[in-house]
């Protein structure tokens, strides 16, 4: 849910937190022609708040970014769930791909066996939309702790339409994602579990990963958004880089050398994803992916513990 520092990358993680600029904060530098990145602030006149309230678990805001905005998020809706303003879901009106880590999640189906995919930390459905639209046979089971987040997804992010369109392929559950299970196990699990701007503490416990490993089918895989230094927590003691490293250590205890990492930022600790299982044949993987997702394949590296 992190930030990318380079203007050279077309694939980026989500900026954490989102920066909104008022006109009073603009300087002459803001008018210099340059390539905008997702970490650049969005002028306040290009941002419309269409929902704002506190639920039992989250400080929920839905932002609509003007299509005229000079920013990669132009024309999107964003879901913010904590005080620092970390983005948890994104959708565009006229396209499915997001140029964020959700697109990396969407590269998982070709390297797992047939069967259901779990999304732990469903949000407003950004990852589910990509999986359902790109892969006609995929069945998605999503878990979200906060029912208000699901309600917001249905009202503002097209989730209600998605449920009607795929009634036999999309199943949503409100509750503890770490209790997720289906008969015969999952072929793949996507983990995107944050609370108050930080990966949940359970993900730094090897026992959690052992439990998730046991919920996989044979040759199944887990792909995880492990965040990084760009994730800003409400509790300043929960440093994003340290939490990411502790999470990877816990995963390594369970998966050993069958663990790979992809970095979306310009620095090693910017924003990372982890993948369990032996790294697949990269050329074969690219051949069965939608061409728009092939750029991520060569970015995976074995974890250097």
User: How is the chain split into domains, by residue range?
Assistant: 101-302
CATH superfamily of 101-302: Vaccinia Virus protein VP39 (3.40.50.150)
Q: Are strands 140-144 and 170-174 parallel, antiparallel or unpaired?
A: parallel
Is pLDDT above 50 for 8?
no
Confidence of residue 59 (pLDDT cuts 50, 70, 90): very high
In this predicted structure, what is the pLDDT of residue 36? Answer: 47
Is pLDDT above 60 for 63?
yes
Per-residue model confidence as pLDDT tens digits over 69-121:
888 899 999 999 988 788 899 999 888 899 899 999 999 999 999 999 999 99
**What is the Cβ-side half-sphere exposure of residue 214, based on CA atoms within 13 angstroms?**
8
DSSP state of 214: H
Higher pLDDT, 287 or 14: 287
Confidence of residue 267 (pLDDT cuts 50, 70, 90): low
The span from the CA of 293 to the CA of 115, in Å, is: 21
Is pLDDT above 90 for 181?
yes
In this predicted structure, what is the pLDDT of residue 268? Answer: 52
In this predicted structure, what is the pLDDT of residue 164? Answer: 98
In this predicted structure, what is the pLDDT of residue 43? Answer: 84
Higher pLDDT, 11 or 200: 200
In this predicted structure, what is the pLDDT of residue 266? Answer: 60
224 vs 118, 124, 255, 270, CA distance in Å?
12, 17, 13, 15
Confidence of residue 270 (pLDDT cuts 50, 70, 90): low
Mean per-residue pLDDT of the chain: 86
In this predicted structure, what is the pLDDT of residue 77? Answer: 95
The pTM (predicted TM-score) of the whole model is: 0.86
Confidence of residue 39 (pLDDT cuts 50, 70, 90): low
């Amino acid at each position: 849910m992190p930030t990318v520092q380079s203007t050279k990358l077309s694939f980026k993680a989500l900026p954490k937190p989102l920066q909104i600029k008022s006109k009073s904060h603009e300087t002459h530098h803001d008018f210099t022609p340059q390539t905008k990145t997702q970490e650049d602030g969005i002028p306040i006149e290009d941002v419309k708040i269409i929902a704002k309230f506190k639920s039992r678990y989250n400080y929920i805001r839905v932002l609509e970014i003007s299509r005229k905005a000079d920013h990669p998020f132009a024309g999107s809706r964003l879901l913010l769930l904590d005080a620092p303003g970390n983005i948890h879901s994104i959708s565009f009106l006229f396209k499915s791909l997001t140029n964020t880590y959700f697109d990396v999640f969407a590269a998982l189906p070709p390297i797992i066996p047939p069967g259901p995919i779990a999304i732990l930390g469903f949000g407003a459905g950004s990852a589910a939309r990509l999986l359902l639209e790109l892969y006609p046979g995929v069945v998605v089971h999503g878990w979200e702790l906060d029912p208000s987040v699901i309600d917001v997804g249905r009202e503002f992010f097209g989730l209600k339409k998605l449920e009607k369109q795929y009634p036999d392929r999309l199943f949503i559950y409100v509750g503890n994602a770490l209790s997720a299970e289906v008969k015969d196990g999952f072929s793949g699990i996507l983990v995107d579990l944050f609370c108050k701007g930080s990966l949940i503490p359970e993900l730094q416990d090897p026992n959690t990963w052992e439990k998730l490993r046991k919920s996989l089918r044979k040759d199944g895989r887990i792909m995880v958004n492990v965040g990084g230094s760009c994730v800003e927590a409400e509790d300043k003691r929960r440093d994003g880089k340290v939490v990411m490293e502790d999470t990877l250590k816990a995963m390594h205890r369970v998966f050993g050398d069958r663990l790979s990492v992809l970095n979306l930022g310009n620095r090693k600790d910017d924003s990372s994803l982890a993948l369990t299982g032996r790294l697949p044949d990269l050329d074969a993987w690219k051949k069965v992916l939608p061409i728009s997702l092939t750029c991520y394949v060569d970015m995976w590296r074995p974890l250097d513990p």
